[in-house]
Amino acid sequence: MLCKKNLTFAPDSLLFYNLPIAMTSTQLILLILGLLLAFTIVRRIISTAFKLVIWAIILGAVYFLVTGRSVVEEFSPDMKKFFANKTINQLMADNCNTADEDKTIKCRCLVQPVYQDMVERLGKEGVIGLENSKIRMEGEMAKSLYNQTDDIKQCFKQVKDEKMSFIDRILCIFKQKES
């Protein structure tokens, strides 16, 4: 059974009510000055943070007006940025037949499937004919990208699995050496 305390709400039972708080005038002045100083410091910190946020918003807006792109687009690459202002042949030249492993993976998993789809739909002459029109080239690349989405995802998943299996093999070697 729980013990019940006799609770009353009389002023005498309030916390700190009976504690004598005796301060000298010097202590009271120091307390007030300390509170004012703390208030001033907090106010300045908040004011500075607010000014920084306002300046960041203004700079972001100016950047958007000048370039037409958001600041987030600069730090998060996406497919539009990868395909922007390039033809499929330029992408093949930039990403295929290089020693860079990342570009080789992009070539195998992204550029080649898009190129193969464009060749199947338009023929080699049609793809070459698109070199003159950037807008049509981007549109056809977008169609091919959409058509090959499943194959592209599967290829990147396969590459990821290959890299993970390589890491697993290395970990197994270290585990065997420890035993």
Residue 76: pLDDT band (50, 70, 90) is low
pLDDT surpasses 80 at 71: no
Answer with the residue of higher pLDDT: 9 or 29.
29
pLDDT at position 35: 94
Do the domain assignments include residue 70?
Answer: yes
The answer to whether residues 61 and 116 belong to one domain is: no
The answer to whether residues 58 and 86 belong to one domain is: no
pLDDT at position 100: 82
The answer to whether residues 61 and 84 belong to one domain is: no
Q: How far apart are CA 68 and CA 62, in angstroms?
A: 9
The answer to whether residues 87 and 39 belong to one domain is: no
Do 131 and 137 meet the contact criterion of CB atoms below 8 Å apart?
A: yes
pLDDT at position 58: 92
End-to-end CA distance of the chain: 58
The answer to whether residues 37 and 122 belong to one domain is: no
User: Mean pLDDT over residues 159-179, rounded?
Assistant: 70
Answer with the residue of higher pLDDT: 174 or 61.
61
Neighbours of 62 (CB within 10 A): 10
pLDDT surpasses 80 at 21: no
The answer to whether residues 139 and 97 belong to one domain is: yes
Q: How far apart are CA 97 and CA 104, in angstroms?
A: 7
Q: pTM value?
A: 0.50
Alpha-carbon distance values, 34 to 38, 42, 50, 72 (Å): 6, 12, 24, 43
pLDDT surpasses 80 at 60: yes
pLDDT at position 50: 95
**By residue range, what is the domain housing residue 71?**
25-76
Answer with the residue of higher pLDDT: 113 or 73.
113
Share the mean pLDDT of the chain. 79
Answer with the residue of higher pLDDT: 78 or 67.
67
The answer to whether residues 117 and 69 belong to one domain is: no
The answer to whether residues 155 and 89 belong to one domain is: yes
User: Mean pLDDT over residues 6-33, rounded?
Assistant: 66
User: Mean pLDDT over residues 62-87, rounded?
Assistant: 71
